[in-house]
Structure 1
Amino acid sequence: MKKLFLGFCLLVGIATKAQTVADQPFLQDSADKFSLKEGEGNVNLLQVGSDRNKAIKVLSSQGLMLLYEKNLRQDVQYRPLLDMNIVALTEYQGQFVYLTEKAVLSNAWAGKLYINHGIEAPKAMGMGPDFLTLVAGEGNFAIFKNNQEVWRSSIESLNPISVQYDPNSGQFLLLTAEGLYQVDSVLKTAKKVFDGSDLTAFSLFEDTIVLGTTNGIQLLDRKTFTLNKLDQKLPWTEITSVNNIRGNLWFGSTKGAFKLREDGKYDYYASKRWLVDDHVADIAEGPDGSVLVLTQKGMSKIDFEPMTLAQKAEYFQEIQRLRHIRYGFTSDLAMRTPGDLSTGYFHDTDNDGLWTSMYLAGELFRYAVTKSEDAKQNAYEAFEAMERLTALPDLKGFPARSFERDGYEVGLHANGFSEEWRQQWEKENGRIWQLSDDELWRWKSTTSSDESCGHFFVYALFAELAPDKEWRDRAIHQIKIEMDHIMDNDWYLMDWNGKPTAWGKWNPEYVNSFPINVGDRRLNSTLILSFLQTAYHFTKDKKYKKGAEKLIKKYGYDENANRPATVIGFVEGEDLSNKWNHSDDEMYFLTIPGFVNYSFTEEQKAAHFNAAKSHWEVERSEKNPLWNYLFALSGGENIDSEESAWWLREFPMDLIDWKIDNDHRKDLTKIAPNFRSQTYTEVLPGDERTLHLHNGAYRNNGGSDGKREYAPYIYLLPYWAGRYVEAISAPQAE
């Protein structure tokens, strides 16, 4: 078994006991989106299909369109088709077949398929074996074989939507908005086998006929046509398309597309993460195992690629290095044009040190697992960026939030507060950005406790896992000077103006001012004890141990920290207890490896572990792999490894901050508003909800206008932490 923090394990010999999930290939879905060009807004997109040559064509109100080199454009390959009014298309034996006002025809089979159908106002066609063809129009239909008419008949008020051949019965099924007809080409009969209303689409699926309606789906027995079930527990009930694609049942709706899973639930594809827009016109089988989703404004090609979690990490690592490194920091990418990565640029944030510490930790874990020189180089580069956070301020160990060249700083706010708040802050406290001594750089002040959490977490990890002693010593020096700053300033982060920062407060007067039910009393006690234990562990300087003992014996910090997480709750009149703060979860879990593993005694360690376990138990419903793996680093067992792997598999490949809404979904069970802000009975997959960092949970709705790409460390840190604690195996062959 791989040992936990190496220095710690040399003392106590603890090893991980997480269950290992085999990293075998799974089908990773992702989407390519193709929008109509500007000026084509009046074009109605009607049908989509692909043939055995992997050509993708779209039928529109202005003729055929072809997907060519990432663009939807007019299809001019066959000039005769340009002069024909095509009203429907289908695929037969892997070839395109077209229904025009005059004929059914194809350019395959040497162009020999040509049926002059004679149907007025044709709308739909279906094909069976040996080119058996049914063409239906308003009030009438006809059947053809070998290009010759077999039978023609009429049905009063017939307004066909679609036609399919049922190989089980050897008969055609014809759908209208008011019912389903069965047409027998041999007996030359047509009968209405199901009366309905507001029908929109249908497909054959196993022993069932699945009917789409404007308010859910209806399931008919394929033999008897009896109604077995009306289902409205769907992501959305206004169905526009139904298709059986390679044995999977797909639905299009006016609010996205969804696929029926084996467990009876749905994979939901909506928002610009997946679709050009959410109003689906048609769904069809695409080339190479893909699914084509046609919407009002374009088409999406959803691919399903066999991939291991390790391959997914390689993909994200490339993106991280390519467009998410700023001066060695990890950085989100802002975009001037929504979704256009070529317009991306970097800017600072309030928590550059914290986010960078999380990417750096992932690279340290990767190095420990693989001994990759690339991982080591990336880690050292990130470390140097973080090291400079204390070098630029002349405040003896005070860590800046970030830095930027003078005149180019962007994030003038702090902690996400409003512009009005910033102005008021600067009026009372001075400018947030401070000029460095060389007058070339500005560093960002008002540093908060979450920055310190990231620093102490990753510097300890660096001191354990970095291969070069010189670099390990530099990390220990950072631990020392940051701890000294807090101790020398009466347990505060003391800013350039001589005032404590808004959140960098561990002083007993502040911490114990909160009732025991307020999370900050428990959290801040845990943080400062973990910092002191970490400093003592690496320096063996007794002043850190004495400082911790004073906080424990005189001010009850161990008692604060060891209370179970279940004590946290709403307290009347306390702003910090209105709801559960998931940013506190991030700080807590980054802190618990040091809090537990560097405890001064075995008795203290057991108490600290039990406190950490109580917090982990509260968090389990989120299925967050990072919390699970950090708990494993702290000695936790049975850490929900399978749920963690599920989270990693469902993490989206598209990291753009698209606006996402799930509030309309009828397939989810909502729960009453609650302290933890959980909306549904279970957490949604990551690719169906808005993106957020690890300091958020249950955010099912939100996002923005697509002008931000999140940095992939959100995936990379938990993946490599999982590999390190052996909760994920090395990649395995299928």
Structure 2
Amino acid sequence: MKNLLLTFCLIISLTATAQRYSDQAYLQDRAEKFDLNEETQNIALLQIASDRNKAIKILSENGLLHPYEKKIRKDFEYRPLTDMHIVALSRYQEQFIYLTDKAVLSNAWAGKFYIDHGIQNPKGMAIGADFLTLVAGNSELRVFQNGQKIWNTSVNNLNPIALEYDKTTGHFLILTEDALYQLDLTLKTMEKVYDGSNLTAMCYYNDEIVLGTKDGIQSLNRKTFALNKSNQKLPWTEITSLKNIRGALWFGSTKGAFKLRSDGKYDYYASKRWLVDDHVVDLEKGPDDTVLVLTKEGMSKINFEPMTLAQKADYFQEIQRSRHIRYGFTTDLTLQTPGDLSTGYNHDTDNDGLWTSMYLAGELFRYAVTKSEDAKLNAYEAFEAMERLTSLPDLKGFPARSFERDGYEIGLHANGFSGEWYKKHVEENGRIWRLSDDEIWRWKSTTSSDESCGHFFVYALFAELAPDKAWRDRAIHQIKIEMDHIMDNNWYLVDWNGEPTAWGKWNPKYVNSFPTNVGDRRLNSTLILSFLQTAYHFTTDEKYKKAAEKLIRKYGYDENANRPATTIGFVEGEDLSDKWNHSDDEMYFLTMPGFVNYSFSEEQKTAHFNTVKSHWEVERSEKNPLWNYLFALSGSKNIDSEESAWWLREFPMDLIDWKVDNSHRKDLTKIEPNFRSQTYSEVLPGDERTLHLHNGAYRNNGGSDGNREYAPYIYLLPYWAGRYVDAISAPVPN
């Protein structure tokens, strides 16, 4: 048997010359969310703040609240405050300051800070140097120093929205819906310095005063108050809050929160992945470098924690093992209560073999890199589940989609098919779930080509990377029996009823029935040649090589497979050509290493490599690390290491399938509807779009209401593949 491991080692040495991502700690963001509980529901939330003790206070129309155990509850810490009518909340020297209908006070400084402000119906306050305090009502302003009033004025119908103190000038700013005023205590004057409309919020940022409006922001010169610029190119323009938090400009809006980045773009925090709801009421600096986002229905604490890609993989590995294993299969978790992981259960899917092969591959790569006993045991467990897919059906190498104990399978049909189609199928063919000979288990039929490509991909890896020869031989046996089934059945996956499955078809009559620019002609030719090359590589049985040569010589399969990806396009009247199929990408890239590395000759290998390179070039804009690392495994030196690492860094920590909508965003450049279903001019980071598997590129909108948690293999496989091909370094200390 040829030694593929030597081939892989050569590939790794080649890719090591490419730029390797140094896995140093970066700031990983994740959210903790706190809902209103039963006693606080339907209470209007107004402000949020935290102090030097890391306490978090929320001001509501019914007094103070605080977050505790994922809920927002009434705050009883200081009993006297429960009897006060608190109208505003602020901080000074990292301590809480409260404005009530009678006073400005604090419980810090031994409770000595107390001002009887004497304003009817106060609206807000601002604290300056040395406890200089401005209190504003609808028509009156008063300033206090050392508890004594030092200035006041009356302004009819002022209705202040926000008050700020400028420590560089010693002046106060007062924002109303249609104007900005400056209070100069040296001159004892209050002057209107800017006329506006629909103003909603303000803050200082660098040398500017940033004003929020109902339609974007306006930036004023901090000294002259001249308008520098207006900006509506934001994720959303109805601004509710503006805050300078640790030198970064944060925005609250009626459609989420966002932060200005150094490159002029925005990090966008919206949907239930990040927030309880998207209507932001207030933003504030939180404890330990967090950001607090108060919304109408709760609060979120956005954490920024130093983390390496390796630590992120450890985090996801724990989730994978604790919640996403069913009989050794990798599976998603269905949540009976949306968003509540405690209500989750595992069940079968159409593609248990495919998803499991991808997790298994990641564990094989992890074992190869680390020699972890845990990785080996996980790989063996997953292999046994996949191995049983061919042992339960009595069909000589036919792989089931899944299996389950009789009576516990979810549905009686393949996912995605129901109604009249299913009724007709059952009448003509019988149940898709078949009872095994022991009458204890049922196995799922109708297996498709995507299952087969996952099997051949991972069995080849297993045959080389598993440390024990007996286990490697079992993988080679699986390759042989699955290949023999296809060959013995005239290049079809033939089901229990003697008929080919809907998608398990590699017969020349089927493959060559498609026009040359329909993707399935190219893809199916590539798959079956790769399967045959793999079988020949590991068994050296000439029948597999001869069969491949016949498909090439007589039916043009190499010609089909070697067409560049740019030939794929729309064909009038062809159902399979109305748009680019990203599930085909998944099959193609999983098949890519075997298609190139197991070629029968160097000439063929060069042709195959050039073809897969054309496919990678088409997919390159997705920045998908799995595609990049599988391309590296096929011999490429150029794999876009930084783009791959960006994808892994931006992959969300929350794996729940939340509904995400970016269609309203005004900061993104939309492009015309196109064959590849690309929506915007650039790919969005993973934590700003709907979560999806590797066969779902460009899905920027969609998702569900939180009724499932995705299995973390979608991160683990590319991460460990990157480590294996030396495109990601081991974690760098400090």
Sort the TM-score into its range (normalised by shorter chain).
over 0.9
Deviations 1:246-289 (A, max 9, x none): 00110000000000000000000000000000000000010000
Query: Contact 2:35/2:70 (CA < 8 Å) preserved in 1?
Result: no
- 1:101 is matched with 101
For 2:165 and 2:4, the matched residues in 1 are separated by: 64
Contact 1:254 1:279 in 2 (8 A): yes
Q: Distance in 1 between matches of 2:615 and 2:536?
A: 25
- Contact 1:213–1:237 at 8 Å: present in 2 too? yes
Q: Which runs of 4+ in 1 moved over 6 A?
A: 10-14
Question: In the alignment, what sits opposite 1:645?
Answer: 645
Q: Which residue of 2 aligns with 1:514?
A: 514
1:234-633 correspondence to structure 2 within 5 Å: 234-633=234-633
Tell me how far 1:69 sits from its aligned partner: 3.4
Partner Cα distance (1:602, 1:157) in 2: 84
Structure 1 residue identity aligned to 2:15: T
What's the secondary structure of 1:728's corresponding residue?
coil
Task: Note the C-alpha offset of 1:192.
Answer: 0.7
The answer on 1:132 being equivalent to 2:118 is no
Q: 1:413 to 1:419 in 2, by over 3 A?
A: farther
Shift of the alpha carbon at 1:707?
Answer: 1.0
8 A contact 1:55–1:67 mirrored in 2: no
C-alpha change, 1:28 and 1:12, in structure 2 (3 Å) is closer
For 2:363 and 2:381, how far apart are their aligned partners in 1? 11
SS in 2 for 1:149: strand
What are the equivalent positions in structure 2 for 1:147-296 lying under 5 Å apart? 147-296=147-296
For the residue of structure 2 that corresponds to 1:669, the secondary structure is coil
Structure 1 position 170, deviation (Å): 1.3
Aligned to 1:49: 49
Measure how far apart 1:162 and its partner are: 1.1
Structure 1 residues 231-256: Cα deviation after superposition (integer angstroms, max 9, x where no partner): 00000000000000000110000000
C-alpha RMSD over aligned residues = 1.3
Letter in 2 for 1:116: D
Compute the displacement of 1:92 (Å). Answer: 0.7
- The answer to whether the 8 A contact 1:433-1:445 is kept is yes
What is residue 68 of structure 2 aligned with on the other side?
68
Tell me which residue corresponds to 1:657. Answer: 657
| Cα contact 2:207–2:221 (8 A) shared by 1 | yes
Task: Give 1:4 shift.
Answer: 10
- How far, CA to CA, are the matches of 1:13 and 1:576 in structure 2? 36
Paired with 2:730 and 2:665, the residues of 1 have a C-alpha distance of: 37
User: d(CA) in 1 for partners of 2:133 and 2:9?
Assistant: 77
Give 1:154 shift. 1.5
Alpha-carbon distance between aligned partners in 1 of 2:198 and 2:169, rounded to the nearest angstrom:
26
SS state at 2:144 partner: strand
- Greater displacement, 34-43 / 45-54: 34-43
- 1:32 Cα shift? 0.5
1:452 aligned counterpart, secondary structure: helix
Matched residue type, 1:161:
I
Q: Which amino acid aligns with 2:54?
A: K
Structure-2 residue corresponding to 1:21 = 21
Instruction: Sort the Cα spacing of 1:39 and 1:116 in 2 relative to 1 into closer, same or farther, 3 A.
Output: closer
Q: What amino acid is the match of 1:6?
A: L
Change (3 A) 1:539 1:10: farther
Q: Distance in 2 between matches of 1:481 and 1:4?
A: 21
**Structure 2 counterpart SS, 1:554:** helix
- Following the alignment from structure 1 to structure 2, what is the Cα–Cα distance between the partners of residues 518 and 503? 15
Structure 2 CA distance for partners of 1:659 and 1:9, relative to 1, 3 Å: closer
Instruction: Verify the 8 A CA contact 1:347 1:411 in the aligned structure 2.
Output: no
Residues 507-529 of structure 1: CA distance to partner in whole angstroms, max 9, x if unpaired? Answer: 00000000001000000000000
The answer to whether the Cα contact below 8 Å between 2:205 and 2:249 also exists between their aligned partners in 1 is: yes
Q: TM-score, normalized by length of structure 2? A: 0.98
Q: Secondary structure at the match of 1:160?
A: coil
Q: Deviations over 1:415-435 (max 9, x none)?
A: 523343322222222211000
User: Separation in 2 of the partners of 1:507 and 1:86?
Assistant: 77
Deviation track 1:22-80 (CA, whole Å, cap 9, x = no partner) reads 00000000001000013643200000010011110100011110223333111111111
Give unpaired runs (5+ residues) of structure 2: none
Contact 1:87–1:101 (CA under 8 A) maintained in structure 2: yes
Shift, 1:14, TM fit? 7.1
Equivalents in 1 of 2:413, 2:300: separation in Å? 38
User: Structure 1, residues 175-231: CA drift from partner, whole Å, max 9, x if none?
Assistant: 111111110122211001110010000000110111000000000111110101110
How far apart are 1:411 and its partner, in Å?
A: 4.1
1:482-537: per-residue Cα shift (whole Å, max 9, x none)?
Answer: 00000000000000000000000000000000000100000000000000000000
Q: Equivalents in 2 of 1:15, 1:407: separation in Å? A: 52
Q: Number of paired residues? A: 732
Q: CA deviation at 1:11?
A: 9.5
**Structure 1 segments unaligned to the other structure (5+ residues):** none
1:19/1:726 contact within 8 Å kept: no
Q: Secondary structure at the match of 1:258?
A: strand
Q: Contact (CA 8 Å) 1:4, 1:725: kept in 2 or not?
A: no
